[in-house]
Chains A and B, each alone.
Chain A
Amino acid sequence: DVKVTQSSRYLVKRTGEKVFLECVQDMDHENMFWYRQDPGLGLRLIYFSYDVKMKEKGDIPEGYSVSREKKERFSLILESASTNQTSMYLCASSPTGLGTSQPQHFGDGTRLSIL
């Protein structure tokens, strides 16, 4: 089974802090994703990466950055945390399909509170 592991289930940080969320997958997937999930808004894509050291902006990248130094690890960085970044953060990974889209596999999320 694919396993996507997010380092923290719950995290509380203060406004202005630099926050790191870590994600590791064990299936050698090329693609990795960061989403935030808010009630009534569904899942919104923040950033994704299709290879080591490669990154692409998603729909809501403002206030975030990412790092992918190794294939299995994808980090989300809140440069200066603000209260409107309080949310559930979900990491996902997927293989690159040969001509067709492939499913994404999710971690259990990090619930981040910014005080």
Chain B
Amino acid sequence: QQQVKQSPQSLIVQKGGISIINCAYENTAFDYFPWYQQFPGKGPALLIAIRPDVSEKKEGRFTISFNKSAKQFSLHIMDSQPGDSATYFCAASLYGGSQGNLIFGKGTKLSVKP
């Protein structure tokens, strides 16, 4: 019930294309869904996050779509650029459960080809 399943494991997209990464969860009590971006040799950095009271959040070229009934959320990267090549992690947490520990997906390695 505490798992977050992320797909695909790896993704290759042409420059200018749309990158889509999907995550699914079981625990309906999760109240926070962040996405992290990690470049080689660096720690994960918070990219964008959503709470379950909204169905979509957009920040620049990055959009989270959230489907509460299907227990799924996804990251869309519009106009993908080679600089977006990184590993992306989705996560979920439950307020009050172990002080807001994040449950991470296993990550998606994105490569954007020029």
Q: Please list the residues of chain A having a beta carbon within 8 angstroms of any beta carbon in chain B.
A: 4, 30-31, 33, 40-43, 45, 48, 50, 56, 58, 90, 92, 94, 96-97, 99-109
Contact = CB atoms under 8 A, between A and B. Distances in A.
B106 A45 contact: no
Interface string B52-65: 00000000000000
Rank and list the top 4 A-B pairs by shortest CB-CB distance, nearest first.
A106-B43, A101-B32, A42-B106, A101-B100
B32 to A, nearest CB: 4
A11 B61 CA distance: 37
A10 to B, nearest CB: 10
Contact of A42 (B31, B45, B105): B105
Given A43-B89, A107-B43, A108-B41, A100 B99 contact: no
A30 B51 CA distance: 22
A43 B104 contact: yes
Nearest to A100: B95
